[in-house]
Structure 1
Amino acid sequence: MLVEVLLHTKIDKLGAEGDLVKVKSGYARNFLLPKRMATVATMASKRHIELLRKRRAEREAAEFQTAQELASRLQKLKLLFTLASGSEEQEKVFGAVTAQNVADRLKEEGLEIDRKKIHMDRPLKELRIYSLEVDIHPYVTAQLHVELVPPAEKAKGKETKTKGEARKRPASKKTKHSAASEAEASSSDTSV
């Protein structure tokens, strides 16, 4: 047996706030009504439908407007990730940038985006610029630019260090105790 109910909140695959829907009586009696997500549709409650629909339209318009503003901010933004890379010929990096890394960086920038709304086929592993699609609203998507760059020391090191300079290392590090014992040993050898 179907019952007509008026929804107070949005329920996936059923309807939005203010919708008049027909559901099975057990679903309404055991889930929707006890959680106050809906009420049984009566003549009095049907009058409130227009008020709820107006509220919903205003709320959806405000959400759409904020989603568009967020999309414009995301399109202007360019995130840089520094990852250690392999040889100069390869553009591969050690490690990867995932949707969670991008979401964390966006949070640092003051933008709350769920990682599930950032579309990535696979983790980013090459040194280049990526354009990621971000779902902000059902009708608004934005393009986010992410660039993977090598570490600054490596980029500077390519120009300033040669292979010979890079190989020069101190032979060994001596502690104060070992230096003092060597001095005593050399003075005792000369006195005999």
Structure 2
Amino acid sequence: MKVVLRKDVEKLGEAGSVQNVSGGYARNFLIPQGLAVYATDGELKTAAHNQAVKDRKIARQEQQLQSLADKIQGLTLSFTARAGDTGRLFGSIGSADIAEQVSAKVGEEIDRRKVVLADPIRTLGDHTVEIHLVGKLRPTVTVTVAAEDVVEEAPVEEAEAEETEA
């Protein structure tokens, strides 16, 4: 059964796309939830028109954001964090941290939701991270995570012992 999706459905398609699904899935889930409608001639024409409008909007946004993508592409971001002997961080570096540093370097606000990061970074080394601006504009940045230099202080007891001896 063909349906036109009204909203993005995970593992099925984006809003406005025509999908072939089983009858039960359409009648029992997609249509009652308002996620899709039957693919009639009128709905197919409306979906085609809406897709054309959406494509023009994305093309216009891509054109406007191209200079920002050029600034972001190839950036190297450096982070220092406390890490164990195995190279595993005690904390993590998330999309908000990366977005904040990219925003500071390019001078324009980047939303943390634009940073494509499956899991927070929890290891030392270089990591490649993609930033999804709009459409096919997906510049990449290199995130370098180094171990924080920890200056070990003399234990308090030894310092007190030296003072009493003097």
Structure 2: segments with no counterpart, 5+ residues: 104-109
The structure that is helix-richer by fraction is: 1
Structure 2 residue 15 is the aligned partner of structure 1 residue 17: yes
Change (3 A) 1:147 1:59: same
Partner of 2:107: none
> 2:98 maps to which residue?
106
Match of 1:41 among 39, 42, 57: 39
Assess if the C-alpha contact under 8 Å between 1:19 and 1:49 holds in 2: yes
Question: Secondary structure of 1:47's match?
Answer: helix
Q: 1:72 to 1:117 in 2, by over 3 A?
A: farther
Alignment of 1:107-146 (within 5 A): 108-109=100-101, 111=110, 112=112, 113=115, 115-116=117-118, 123-125=122-124, 130-137=125-132, 140=138, 142-146=140-144
Larger radius of gyration: 1
CA RMSD of aligned residues (A): 4.1
CA distance in 2, matches of 1:13, 1:148: 37
Q: Do the aligned residues in 1 keep the contact of 2:4 with 2:38 (CA within 8 Å)?
A: yes
- What is the distance in 1 between the residues matched to 2:56 and 2:118? 27
User: Does the 8 Å CA contact 2:73/2:141 hold for their aligned counterparts?
Assistant: yes
Q: What is the correspondence of 1:43-58 to structure 2 with a 5 Å cutoff?
A: 43-58=41-56
Unaligned runs of 5+ in 1: 86-91, 175-192
Higher RCO (CA < 8 A, seq sep 6+) = 2
Q: 1:117 & 1:70 partners in 2: Cα distance? A: 23
Q: Percent identity?
A: 18
